[in-house]
Structure 1
Amino acid sequence: MKRIFLLWMFIAPFWAIAENEHREADFNFDWKFYLTQDNSKDLSIPIDDAQWREVRLPHDWSVEAPFDSTLTGSTGYLPGGVGWYQKHFDTPASLEEKSVYVLFDGVYNNAEFWLNGKKLGVNPYGYSPVYFDLTPHLNTNGQENIMTVYVDRTRYADSRWYPGSGIYRNVKLVTVDKLHIPIWGTFIKTPEVNQHSADVSLDINIKNDTKKTARFSFETKVFDPQGRMVAQQSSAHKISGRKEGLFHQELKVDNPQLWSPEQPNMYKAVTYVLNNGKPVDEYETPFGIRTIRHDADKGFFLNGKSTLVKGVCLHHDGGLVGAAVPRGVWERRLALLKEGGVNAIRTSHNPFSKEFLDLCDEMGFLVQNEIFDEMDYPKDKRYNLTLREAMYITDGYEHHFQEWAERDLKRTIRRDRTHPSVFEWSIGNEIEWTYEGYRHVSGLWDPGVKGYWNRIPDLSPEEMKARYEALPERKYKLADTAKKLSDWVKEMDTSRPVTANLIIPVASLASGYADALDVVGFSYQTNQYNWSKYHYPDKHFTGNENSGSWHEWNEMLENPMVYSMYMWTGIDYLGEAQDKWPQKGWDGDMLDFGGFKRQGWDHFKSIWINQPHISVYSLPIAGTQFKVDKLSGKPVPKKGKLSKWRNLANKHWNYQEGDTILVEVSANLPVVELFLNGESLGARSLAECPDHIYRWAVPYQEGELKAVGGFDGARISDQLKTAATPAKFKLEADHTVLAADGYEVSHVVVQLYDANGLPVRSEEREIIFEVKGEARVLGVDNGWNKSVTPYYSDRITTHEGKGLLLLQSLKGKSGKVEVIAHSPGLPDQKVLINVQSNHIN
């Protein structure tokens, strides 16, 4: 008997997974889609879709289109429109015993939903999850069901960045017993944790869809990261018919394996519901055991340890895939950010997908989960549009905020609050711009004031408060709105603090906006930390958005209160291009559109990773922020002070004789020496390089440029060599084996080389791809912000010698996929990818 018990203890997690997958069915495949510009909805629903094209979800129709210079750069020169989706399916179970729901993780935007012509509801916000009960409208006579979804993005400039269009996140069909745990029906907290034990607090919602009172019991088993059951508890209850109740369990885990970015240990709670002894439902809740503490004077503590948050802001698009980002694309990008030292993500400026948070849990990233970018009033999204032109196409969420904000916020928090990665809730981003006169409260934005950015205010807090109170009365006050949002958050979760990103923090302190926040996040304005702490000593201040400079990191090292910086932004994103065609997006600090490393990756690795690191970049002095000092021969900032470091440099040594080249070395070594063709050009020390970039002005000579640092026996180096004309190229796939599940992806990267095998990064070639076998091409890219080649193409011109093809497996289609790449004048190259029906990645 003991053997049977032990066997059950070990196989239970796998049985739980199988049952949970049965409860939640994949609803992404076999949809029909039709794109139009007509948003009249004068149609009989369901619609005859015989001529519509087939799509699988997640799907973003805007990124399928070519870039168009006549559109606005705010959303990346890509169009909107109206999308209709329909799916035909059978009723999954007997409706006498089961209830059926559909769960959409995100539809952008202004979405309406029908089943068999019966209206289910609407969801205007494109970033909040929503679900509907299908049970009353499902066919029970053997006829098929038709789900219809309408998406209105005719307001194609409704954002300041690229939001995507359509059902761009996952969809699940959830089938449960009439007595069940509803969607997002559990909430786990770990209020007391030490090295010997952890208290696990579990709230469980139970819903009874029958008319009769149900007497039931439920049992929760907790499994550790190795799959061993480490705690369990059972209890008996009853619930009236047509009611939903909240129940509670307390469990204890011995010798807990704590969750952290360094060791993202994930536990799993499986709750079994039994009605009259019969198992009727099973709900699986992944969670992590960890503690968080924010101290207004000493910063942030994770598991009792002072922790510096090395963060990046991200938007939710993935370059060539738009907003419909496969898990594998995020996995590759997050792995590179992690390698560069990043341990935190700010989801600017809206909730991301559940799948993204799952990855952050598993890979070890802290997440500041942000909810809104617009509240009572709109932000200016016009760029080069006149007010008349923009009156309709820039209409955004502000039109829905009063009616929908509470529902969108609470649904998001209910979905996300058990993720251990989520450690802060941000209610909004730079909202102050939208309230008339608000910017002048501080005196720093007064007409005629110069150099207001990042200045210490001349006015006292009392003078600012008087200015605020003298503003014309408006319908909505930011302090009241923030208090309302903060209260809603705390209704759902008191285990994490509320923050926001304040672009005018000193005015927000005076106005009362900051009173709604547990942590006051600064958007830049780092010079105002100490002023704010002096005048408001009980409040906690830190950085929620930063330019990505050494001085912002140094502020954290020198000021224990300031525990975080989030670079704007970690990865290139579409939109916010300010109509500078052909620039289609904003430059990221660490990775470009193709997920290729930029100089910023090396720079921040050198200061965030406690390992010897050195890397060399170069660019001509002309056009940079630096000039050559005539006496010393060293590069100095043109404006007489150290300028912000930026991603300007090249990873090559190919210029014209006579050019003066700025050489930048990112390193964390006390001294770095530079050599050109074996001859020393001198050494630089950290004392000379306060922004941690070592710089030389070098007259160009063909050959080898080499930077060396470290001590004898532990010296490291990096070098650039002059490359010749491209003579070949190579293909490299990050995954050569894929599961035939329709989800897994392979990044096929092209790199040009010369005849000596040196990478060529200063000349470009067109690469034409031919794909043979069962896989679909998601698109091509070269990572360049100014490339407007359509993503949905079979060819790309390299940038810095690189190009990218993204492939995805097809569901149920196994076999070999051959990628052949052609380039005029260069030998063809190919790579093989095996798609296997039984592969587990």
Structure 2
Amino acid sequence: MRGKEIISNWKFNLGDIKEAHLLSKDDTQWRTINLPHDWSVELPFNKEEGEACTGFLLGGIGWYRKHFKTAEDMIDKRVIVNFDGIYCRSTIYCNGEMITFHPNGYTPVLADITKYLNPLNEENVIAVRVDHSRHADSRWYTGSGIYRKVSMHILPKVHIPVWGVSVITPKITDLLAEVEGNVELVNEFSENQDIEVLMRIIDEEGKKVVEEKQRVKLSEHSSSNIKFNVSINNPVRWEVLNSHLYKAEVCILKDNNIIQTEIVKFGVREFKFDADKGFFINSKRTLIKGVCLHHDGGAVGAAVPLDVWRRRLDALILCGCNAIRTAHNQVSEDFLDLCDELGILVQEEFFDEWDNPKDKRQNGEEKTVDYLSRCYTEFFREYAQDDLQNTIKRDINHPSIIQWSIGNEIEWTYTKYNNATGYFGIDADGSYFWKLPPNDIDVIKENISKIPRDYYDVGTTAKKLANWTKEMDTTRPIIANCILPSVSYETGYTDALDIVGYSYRRVIYDYGHTHYPEKPIMGTENVPQWHEWKAVLEKEHIAGTFLWTGCDHIGEAQVQGPWPRKGSNLGLIDLAGFDKPSYHMFKGLWNEEPHIKIFTQTLDKSLYNLDKDGILVEKEKDAWQKRLWFWHDVNPHWNYMSEEGIVVEVYSNCEEVSLYVNDELVSTRHLNEFEDNIYKWFVPYTEGTVKAIGRKGNKKVENNIPTTGPIDKIDLTTDKNIIKVSSDSVAHIVVQLVDKQGHPVKIVNEELFFNIKGNAKILGVDNGHPDNVQNFQNNSIVTSQGRALMILQAIDEGQIEVVAICKTLGLKSAPCKIQAIR
């Protein structure tokens, strides 16, 4: 995050307190914490008072206070405090004076504290009241508090404001890239100022590529913008999953002295969406292999260290993913920096609600909205423009961002239009997933033409949001996730869009292209099943897809099951970051390198029956074409009753796969035999090892699952042996129960306790299961599939040792050693 971080030694109190905004308030008994901080994730899951929509974790009201002295470099300067994210309804004070109220929980807010500072060396306090008492105000887990970083900007009287530098590359060839730098300047003096402004481009190796200097005369109490136009010879392009970042260093000089320097990173890349041919980046047609992500990090809640995101994004990249949709809100500046670094494409989404609220508990079946579930909608009309445009100001330089999304499934909240399609009548039975609109296009147009428009209507609001977006940035297309595009094409909604995103509407990809050929189309929310990707491969005009979801998330549990279901388990990766069966399906679909993975299930619990010839057939013919979010129940183990009938499924992109049980060949099958893209065999269970060997071209790949014995020991592994004393640095320690041969035991679970020696703390523990309601902040965990995760953060430098103990079995792991450094 840009600016000087001020994240250490804040004071925190959960609960409302009178006069907590005053400098004189005694806060010595408050907790001392470091930011980012999410207080909800520290609380126990609460079945009685909590809500399934937000993961049964409560909110409340909290106060934060940060003491600091007025330093010499603040005198006669402008001092801005940048909060990257506070959830939610925050009121920010300095020395008892209210600076601003900010209701949005996801957008950055700048607090100008200049005129409220006390004289040199005197004490000041920034106080922030956070009101998340409406803890059912979202369809997913939000967190509570100052859950993102905070930084301070100390600016001279002639300065570049925060987010005042933007860089674009309007023309690119292999030999040359034109770079246009836009710099905003402010003069707070009561007289004219003569300055010089220098822009220098630096490559990843730190080498100066080009620089240009301009002389500028600023009138008194004025602001203006200047442009730099320079060129980079033989530019290195920012590519998908192969990034290269340049830095633009902009300096203000007064009397040959540098009085301010601002640095932004950018990438040299060009892209376009073609209505007939899909997505192109740097002149190469590229399929968007995307996933949707909510902003929580599982056991750490909403205050996610960057290393947690790095582990998750690395796993998704290994799966073949190349794009993220930030469902359904703005993400942190640091998250986007990471996407820039990794070469991941991003669709940044602004809003889940506009003029009308959604029913957070029913999730699409709008019934009631009460006090606890009302959220941003009541502030939308007043604050939406600032929130949207401040997001773009902050994020405009990120080469990863290729789309701005102005809304998610907004149509549900403008209900008067929905019946126009005929989907919700008796004949269609609400089957908008699989059927074309029951009404033809002329009937839909006629039905909608008869509906009176409101002052705040879906089309007019969409146009307003699109105009605000284009005021800030014309280099990226505007998109939205449309749940009923056949309606939205006729209400004026899609008129405001450059690309129409389809939410679970692959069945009308051709309908949209035929009737509205000028608008590019892509899937912006799709189920993680083969039939969704098959549609993308078969239709050249579809740019790609965003699967729902990349990672499981807390909340949105009500659509899945009753307590103790606390979260959504539709991701390719679970809450602890462990891969799931659907992950391996898409790893095969999204990669050229051969991949193979075995899962098993008893015949009665599987999707299949045996026909008269002993061949596996679907219990419901062609059901694979209509599978939704939930992956069918399969097991990662080979432990059954002797001679029990077992279905072996293999997920692979190999042209052929041979299955062996105890090194005896069962048979060799070919992928083109299976319409559902799943290799499958029926075998009687025999203790030993099931093995699959796949061949793709001249390459061979193998996977096997052995029968496991009783638990013999506890294995601890860490993704890092060295971590930093930093809010972003953590070690992920995975604990796995294993048998005497060292094979993971997946069918037995035990409670484990962690002992830590050294200056470190447990940020969270989890086993990845969506029904796990053990406290995240704990030193014990009951495993799922014999494994669990502990996230460790250093408090100070030195050696850290972690040991896991199973008291019921009398087992103790070998120590896992980690070094913490500054």
| TM bucket, shorter chain | over 0.9
Counterpart of 1:100 in structure 2 is 79
The answer as to whether partners of 2:609 and 2:619 remain within 8 angstroms in 1 is: yes
Alpha carbons of structure 1 residues 31 and 532: separation in structure 2 relative to 1, 3 Å = same
Q: Which amino acid aligns with 2:587?
A: K
Gaps (5+ residues) in structure 1? Answer: 1-20
* Cα deviation, residue 647, structure 1: 5.6
* Cα deviation, residue 637, structure 1: 3.8
Q: How does 1:190-589 map to 2 (within 5 A)?
A: 190-383=169-362, 391-450=370-429, 451-471=431-451, 473-578=453-558, 580-589=562-571
Q: How does 1:769-784 map to 2 (within 5 A)?
A: 769-784=754-769
2:703 aligned residue (718, 721, 733): 718
Q: Which amino acid aligns with 2:251?
A: Y
* Cα deviation, residue 698, structure 1: 2.8
Provide, for residues 345-369 of structure 1, a one-character-per-residue CA deviation record: whole Å limited to 9, x for no partner: 0000000000000000001100001
How many angstroms apart in 2 are the aligned matches of 1:186 and 1:634? 62
The answer as to whether partners of 2:364 and 2:412 remain within 8 angstroms in 1 is: no
Counterpart of 2:22 in structure 1 is 45
Q: Which amino acid aligns with 2:773?
A: V
Counterpart of 2:137 in structure 1 is 158
Counterpart of 1:821 in structure 2 is 804
- TM-score by length of structure 2 reads 0.96
Aligned-pair Cα RMSD in Å: 2.0
The answer as to whether partners of 1:635 and 1:696 remain within 8 angstroms in 2 is: no
The answer as to whether partners of 1:635 and 1:695 remain within 8 angstroms in 2 is: no
* Cα deviation, residue 640, structure 1: 4.9
Counterpart of 1:17 in structure 2 is none
Provide, for residues 434-491 of structure 1, a one-character-per-residue CA deviation record: whole Å limited to 9, x for no partner: 0122221211122452233231123232321221232355442101110000111100
Provide, for residues 517-567 of structure 1, a one-character-per-residue CA deviation record: whole Å limited to 9, x for no partner: 000000011010111111112121111111022222222222121011111
2:43 aligned residue (65, 68, 73): 65
Query: Residue 600 in 1 paired to residue 582 in 2?
Result: yes
* Cα deviation, residue 140, structure 1: 0.8
Gaps (5+ residues) in structure 2? Answer: none
The answer as to whether partners of 1:627 and 1:638 remain within 8 angstroms in 2 is: no
Q: Which amino acid aligns with 1:822?
A: I
How many angstroms apart in 2 are the aligned matches of 1:742 and 1:828? 28
Q: Which amino acid aligns with 1:212?
A: E
How many angstroms apart in 2 are the aligned matches of 1:115 and 1:76? 34
Percent identical among aligned pairs is 40
Which range is displaced more, 488-497 or 551-560? 551-560
Q: Which amino acid aligns with 1:286?
A: K
Q: Which amino acid aligns with 2:647?
A: L
How many angstroms apart in 2 are the aligned matches of 1:560 and 1:387? 36
How many angstroms apart in 2 are the aligned matches of 1:265 and 1:403? 39
Q: Which amino acid aligns with 2:519?
A: K
The answer as to whether partners of 1:729 and 1:752 remain within 8 angstroms in 2 is: yes
How many angstroms apart in 2 are the aligned matches of 1:580 and 1:211? 65
Alpha carbons of structure 1 residues 781 and 463: separation in structure 2 relative to 1, 3 Å = same
Counterpart of 1:834 in structure 2 is 819
* Cα deviation, residue 717, structure 1: 1.5
How many angstroms apart in 2 are the aligned matches of 1:97 and 1:303? 47
Which range is displaced more, 24-33 or 690-699? 690-699
How many angstroms apart in 2 are the aligned matches of 1:43 and 1:219? 44
Counterpart of 1:706 in structure 2 is 691
Q: Which amino acid aligns with 2:239?
A: S
Counterpart of 1:9 in structure 2 is none
Provide, for residues 285-325 of structure 1, a one-character-per-residue CA deviation record: whole Å limited to 9, x for no partner: 10000001111111111011111110000000000000000
Counterpart of 1:171 in structure 2 is 150
* Cα deviation, residue 662, structure 1: 2.5
Provide, for residues 246-278 of structure 1, a one-character-per-residue CA deviation record: whole Å limited to 9, x for no partner: 110001000000001232001001011012222
Provide, for residues 615-641 of structure 1, a one-character-per-residue CA deviation record: whole Å limited to 9, x for no partner: 111123334433333433314243553
How many angstroms apart in 1 are the aligned matches of 2:169 and 2:10? 41
**Secondary structure of 2:672's aligned partner:** helix
How many angstroms apart in 1 are the aligned matches of 2:415 and 2:697? 62
**Secondary structure of 1:311's aligned partner:** strand
Q: How does 1:182-193 map to 2 (within 5 A)?
A: 182-193=161-172
Provide, for residues 213-243 of structure 1, a one-character-per-residue CA deviation record: whole Å limited to 9, x for no partner: 1111111110112111111111001112222
Q: Which amino acid aligns with 1:817?
A: I
Provide, for residues 161-192 of structure 1, a one-character-per-residue CA deviation record: whole Å limited to 9, x for no partner: 00110000000011121111111011111010
How many angstroms apart in 2 are the aligned matches of 1:227 and 1:83? 44
How many angstroms apart in 1 are the aligned matches of 2:163 and 2:366? 42
How many angstroms apart in 2 are the aligned matches of 1:266 and 1:672? 42
Provide, for residues 713-764 of structure 1, a one-character-per-residue CA deviation record: whole Å limited to 9, x for no partner: 7432111110001100111111111123343111111011101111111111
The answer as to whether partners of 1:779 and 1:793 remain within 8 angstroms in 2 is: yes
- TM-score by length of structure 1 reads 0.94
Counterpart of 1:7 in structure 2 is none
How many angstroms apart in 2 are the aligned matches of 1:696 and 1:56? 54
**Secondary structure of 2:439's aligned partner:** coil
Query: Residue 609 in 1 paired to residue 588 in 2?
Result: no
* Cα deviation, residue 687, structure 1: 2.0
Which range is displaced more, 350-359 or 676-685? 676-685
The answer as to whether partners of 2:108 and 2:391 remain within 8 angstroms in 1 is: yes
**Secondary structure of 1:187's aligned partner:** strand
Counterpart of 2:33 in structure 1 is 55
Provide, for residues 42-69 of structure 1, a one-character-per-residue CA deviation record: whole Å limited to 9, x for no partner: 7663433122111110000001011111
Alpha carbons of structure 1 residues 300 and 471: separation in structure 2 relative to 1, 3 Å = same
* Cα deviation, residue 503, structure 1: 0.4
Provide, for residues 591-618 of structure 1, a one-character-per-residue CA deviation record: whole Å limited to 9, x for no partner: 1111111112211111111111111111
How many angstroms apart in 2 are the aligned matches of 1:712 and 1:259? 31
**Secondary structure of 1:147's aligned partner:** strand
1:618 aligned residue (577, 600, 609): 600
The answer as to whether partners of 1:743 and 1:809 remain within 8 angstroms in 2 is: no
